[in-house]
Structure formats: structure tokens, C-alpha cells
Amino acid sequence: MYDVLDSRSVLEVLQPVQDPELRKSLVDLNMIRNVKIDGGKVSFTLVLTTPACPLREFIVEDCEKAVKKLPGVTEVNVEVTAETPQQKSLPDRTGVPGVKNILAVSSGKGGVGKSTVAVNIAVALAQTGAKVGLLDADIYGPNDPTMLGLADAQIVVRSTDKGEVLEPAFNHGVKLVSMGFLIDRDQPVIWRGPMLNGVIRQFLYQVEWGELDYLIVDMPPGTGDAQLTLTQAVPMSGAVIVTTPQTVALLDSRKGLKMFQQLNIEVLGIVENMSYFIPPDMPDKQYDIFGSGGGSKTAAELGVPLLGCIPLEISTRVGGDNGVPIVVADPDSASAKALKAIALAIAGKVSVAALT
Ligand SMILES: Nc1ncnc2c1ncn2[C@@H]1O[C@H](COP(=O)(O)OP(=O)(O)OP(=O)(O)O)[C@@H](O)[C@H]1O
């Protein structure tokens, strides 16, 4: 069938190989580029739709298997790169130049670990090579500077010919802008809609974010006016809802889900935090402190995916307090593994949403 080994025959054997999430041919998606033949050696570039592709190895293996079937092939070299697609444009919303995808991390209730999840997901995505920003919009408890090791950072304002711009702080591979840089922690601030709107617009459009694959927005907990103002002001492509297994937390997360759905923002899934406790001195034991299975039940009821379950681990809390997120401090811990898998699942879903 294939008399000559050339780039056309390589593309032909790769034609049936699909991106497992997009269910389309890699060739049709323009994910196979720079095919080169040198004797029996075939090399090409595989351009994934996110550096955090959860199925990277699987896709590479499929490509190698397909090309090795060609007569005369002695070696296959696949160079893997990524180009994150731009989120679809939203009606009545202005995107942020250079920022490909904006994602909300929210919770119906306070204290469920929303900021812990937002910070660790941001860092986990950056660890894969993605360019990541974090906008800490939690007006009630802006903890991201502490959790990212930037408690003492100052936001720098520069005058340019386009007016004043803010320079984000940076640590663990993530650019950060936080409400915490603006407000005095000991002074309660009452945020009225227009004021919050103004600050958020500044955080979106007057910050030198540069090129970002993902801008994660750590939302304030709850579903009140502030959350609604924010959800309407930010051109988000998707939202992640963090919950704990208790019934109350789950009821609240249902409200959060409805809020996003009403505003036509895709809910990418639910993260169940504090799912179970593993005592550090008894790693074989597991205690379901807040009950079990709540996250998966709610996800099934509401028809959204469960992105993952994170155990309650002392080192996760310590990582947050010390400014070294658990995915950096102890990447092999159960929590870090769960958080990294959740970050990859989110990246996969974002690419699918952008390309379908
Ligand atoms: N899986 C976990 N294991 C251990 N501690 C955790 C875990 N998740 C969160 N925590 C701890 O619980 C506390 C609350 O977490 P966090 O600040 O992330 O919650 P939150 O939902 O953002 O709160 P709020 O928005 O109401 O301020 C923090 O001290 C954090 O370190």
C-alpha cells in the first residue's frame, strides 16, 4: 500500500489516530506538524491542546504504534509541544488581551478549601509548562498571597503611555494579583457592586498579565451580590466548584452551580475537598470525617463531572500557611497527586470546550 516512506504516507497512517477527548483525527486537528524522514527514521511534532494534557503519553504511544506499522520505519521520534486554544468569545464581554482562558474557582460556602484548591491548581498547571495567572478576588479573605509565599509582596504600579498599569507578583511559576494587596486586613471593607466592578476591571484590564494559558479567579465564597457582580464582570470560560462532603456544603454548592448556569458559564465540574482523613501515623487507615460520597452524588444529580477528591492532610494546611503549596512541598502526597490530576482534568475540559 505504501511504496515510499514520505511525509504523506506518515500523515495517512496517522489519520485514524484520534485525540481521545476531542474524538477527532490528530491530523485534521493540525496537531501533527513538521514530519521529517531520514532513512528509516521518522520524526514529527505533536502539538497538544494544553501543556497539561492528561493523556499525553497515551497519544504519543498511539502515534508511535501507527507510524511503526509503515514498512521501512526503524525509529519514530515524537517531539511534544502545546498550543492552548483561545476560549470562545462571550456575548457582551471583553476578553483580556493575551489571556486564553479565564476560569473561576468558587464555593457555595466559606472554609471548604477553595483558595487551597485555586492556588494548588494554578501551581500544578504552571508545573506542566503552562503560563498561569491567579486573580484573588476573594474580598472576604484574600489568602492567596500567603498561600503562594507572597504575603509581603507589594503590587507595583507603573506609568506607561497607556496609563497606569499594575505588575503582578510572582512565585512558584504563577503571577498573582490579590485583593489582599489593596485592603488593610484589619479594616472591614464593604464592597458595593460598582466599586467591586471597578477593581475587578482594573485587575483584568490594567494588569500586565502578558501571555497566559490560564487565568484562575479565586472567587469570594457564596452566591450573593458580590459573587454575581464578579461573575458578570469577568469573561470566564468555565467554573470549578469546590465543596466538602457534608450536606450543608453540598446544598450551597448547588446554588453556586445554578448561578453559573444562569449566566451561561460552563461548570467544568465539582471538586470534593476534605473527602477523608489519613492519619499520618496510620497511612493504611482512612476516616470519612464529613461522610462519604457526597461530591459524586451531587455531581451525578446535577449532571456535572466530579473532577476529583482531595483528602484532609495536615501537610496541605501547613503548605498553605508556609506559602509552599502542597504540590511543591510534597508532590507525592495523596493530596498533591489528587490536585495535580484535577488540574490536568480541568485543562483537558477547557481545551475541549474551546475546540468543540
Ligand atoms: N485538604 C486539606 N487538608 C488540610 N487542610 C486543608 C485542606 N483544604 C484546606 N485546608 C485548610 O483549611 C483552611 C481553609 O482553607 P481555604 O482558605 O483554602 O478555604 P476557603 O474555602 O478558600 O475559605 P474562605 O474563602 O472562606 O476564606 C486553611 O487553613 C487550609 O490550609
220, 259 Cβ separation under 8 angstroms: no
Within the chain, what is the greatest distance between any pair of CA atoms? 77
66: pLDDT confidence band, cut at 50, 70 and 90? Answer: very high
The CATH code belonging to domain 7-82 is 3.30.300.130
| Span between the terminal Cα atoms of the chain, in Å | 34
112 CA closest ligand 1 atom index: 21
CA distances in angstroms from 182 to 138, 159, 171, 198, 227, listed in the order given: 12, 18, 19, 13, 19
220, 137 Cβ separation under 8 angstroms: yes
Q: Give the mean model confidence (pLDDT) for residues 87-94.
A: 80
Lowest-pLDDT range of 5-19, 133-147, 153-167, 262-276: 153-167
Calculate how far, in angstroms, residue 266's C-alpha sits from the geometric centre of ligand 1.
Answer: 24
Calculate how far, in angstroms, residue 320's C-alpha sits from the geometric centre of ligand 1.
Answer: 8
pLDDT one-digit tens code per residue, 172-182: 999 999 988 88
Indicate whether residue 335 lines ligand 1 (CB < 6 A): yes
110: pLDDT confidence band, cut at 50, 70 and 90? Answer: confident
- Across the strands, what pairs with 273? 310
Three-state DSSP string of the chain: CCCCCCHHHHHHHHCCCEECCCCEECCCCCCEEEEEEECCEEEEEEEECCCCCCCHHHHHHHHHHHHHCCCCCCEEEEEEEECCCCCCCCCCCCCCCCEEEEEEEECCCCCCCHHHHHHHHHHHHHHCCCCEEEEECCCCCCCHHHHCCCCCCCCEEEEECCEEEEECEEECCEEEEEHHHCCCCCCCCCCCHHHHHHHHHHHHHCECCCCEEEEEEECCCCCCHHHHHHHHHCCCCEEEEEECCCHHHHHHHHHHHHHHHHCCCEEEEEEEEEEEECCCCCCCCCECCCCCCHHHHHHHHHCCCEEEEEEECHHHHHHHHHCCCHHHHCCCCHHHHHHHHHHHHHHHHHHHHHHC
Q: What is the ipTM metric for this complex? A: 0.98
Instruction: Tell me which fold the domain 99-355 belongs to.
Output: Rossmann fold (3.40.50)
Indicate whether residue 310 lines ligand 1 (CB < 6 A): yes
Indicate whether residue 315 lines ligand 1 (CB < 6 A): no
Calculate how far, in angstroms, residue 121's C-alpha sits from the geometric centre of ligand 1.
Answer: 14
Nearest CA residue ID for atom 2, ligand 1: 312
pLDDT exceeding 90 applies to what percent of the chain?
A: 59
185: pLDDT confidence band, cut at 50, 70 and 90? Answer: low
311 CA closest ligand 1 atom index: 1
CA distance 104 to 267: 9
Q: Give the mean model confidence (pLDDT) for residues 119-138.
A: 96
Calculate how far, in angstroms, residue 49's C-alpha sits from the geometric centre of ligand 1.
Answer: 31
Indicate whether residue 110 lines ligand 1 (CB < 6 A): yes
132, 175 Cβ separation under 8 angstroms: yes
Calculate how far, in angstroms, residue 334's C-alpha sits from the geometric centre of ligand 1.
Answer: 16
281, 305 Cβ separation under 8 angstroms: no
Indicate whether residue 143 lines ligand 1 (CB < 6 A): yes
Q: Give the mean model confidence (pLDDT) for residues 23-38.
A: 95
249: pLDDT confidence band, cut at 50, 70 and 90? Answer: low
Calculate how far, in angstroms, residue 117's C-alpha sits from the geometric centre of ligand 1.
Answer: 8
Domain ranges, ordered by start, for the chain: 7-82, 99-355
Query: In this structure, are strands 18-19 and 24-25 parallel, antiparallel, or unpaired?
Result: antiparallel
Binding site membership for ATP: which residues? 108-115
Indicate whether residue 178 lines ligand 1 (CB < 6 A): no
Indicate whether residue 222 lines ligand 1 (CB < 6 A): no
CA angle 212, 218, 221 (to 5 degrees): 160
